[in-house]
Amino acid sequence: MAINRTPVLKRCRSLGLEPAFLGVSKKSKKKPPMTRRKVSEYGLQLKEKQKAKFVYGVLEKQFRLYFEKASKLRTGLVGENLLMLLELRLDSIVYRLGLARTRRESRQVVSHGLVRVNGKKVNIASYSVKVGDVIEVKENAKSFQRFKDILDVTGSRIVPAWLSADHNNLSGTVNALPTREQIDTPVRETFIVELYSK
């Protein structure tokens, strides 16, 4: 499996992205390089795609599949559908529920088999969660010090309205599909649609 090992702060700096969107509390002291050269339309579109891929931890082939799936949905705009599908990934839901400090940690929690969906073990980070699904930490892992430390950090984090979290039981439920207004990812999805439409 391909893994992007680029330092998070360095990548955030190059994309003009706040590390907080990845759950990283550190801030880079370096400033992004000053460029006087005008960025082309293609350059802007590519940057938005790279932002989305980096935030959700998806590589090109998988991202393209998400775009094709979003294009086939009968309701909504393609760009908004794309972000909705990315938000419904299991690792993203675990992060949003506050069961992981960062998006990378949420992927690790899932891949280590610590998460149950409707009582069944799921260790695939890209697993697509549906409305009504209950996500929880497996029973014998709820007492781990790791999750106590995580909740100390994420306890004050706002859980999106389309999810409901129960931090006492380390669980949460998907109440509805997320709308664009409820997704705070700083990506201009129309640029991504334009890029793939060429």
Q: Secondary structure of 165-194 in the HEC alphabet? A: EECCCCEEEECCCCCHHHCCCCCCHHHHHH
- Phi, psi (5° rounding) for residue 171? -145, 170
pLDDT of 25 reads 63
Please write the tens of the pLDDT for every residue from 101-149. Answer: 988 899 999 999 999 999 999 999 999 999 999 999 999 888 899 989 9
**Contacts for 52-56: CB closer than 8 Å, 24+ residues apart:** 52/82, 52/83, 52/86, 52/185, 52/187, 52/189, 52/192, 54/4, 54/11, 54/15, 54/17, 55/17, 55/21, 55/22, 55/103, 55/185, 55/187, 56/86, 56/89, 56/92, 56/103
Residue 182 has which token pair? 């409820």
Q: What is the mean pLDDT of the chain?
A: 86
Q: How confident is the model at residue 10 (pLDDT cuts 50, 70, 90)?
A: confident
Better-predicted residue by pLDDT, 173 or 14? 173
The number of C-alpha atoms within 13 Å of 188 and in the hemisphere containing its C-beta is 12
Q: Residue 126: what pLDDT?
A: 93
In CATH, the architecture of 8-78+185-196 is Orthogonal Bundle (1.10)
DSSP 101: S
Q: Locate tokens 């990934």: which residue?
A: 89
Mean pLDDT within 86-109:
92
Helix (H, G, I), strand (E, B) or coil at 196: helix
Q: pLDDT, tens digit, for every residue of 21-69? A: 666 666 656 665 565 678 788 988 999 999 999 889 899 999 999 999 9
pTM of the full structure: 0.86
DSSP code of residue 141: G
Task: Enter the tokens of residue 61.
Answer: 């082939």
Check if the beta carbon of residue 110 is closer than 8 Å to that of residue 94.
yes
Q: At residue 1, does pLDDT exceed 80?
A: no
The whole-number pLDDT of residue 67 equals 94
pLDDT at site 27: 62
Residue found by looking up tokens 């702060």 in the block: 9
Domain definitions of the chain by residue range: 8-78+185-196, 89-176
Q: Is the torsion defined by CA of 129, 135, 138, 141 positive or negative?
A: positive
Q: How far apart are CA 29 and CA 49, in angstroms?
A: 25
| Yes or no: domain 89-176 corresponds to CATH 3.30.470.10 | no
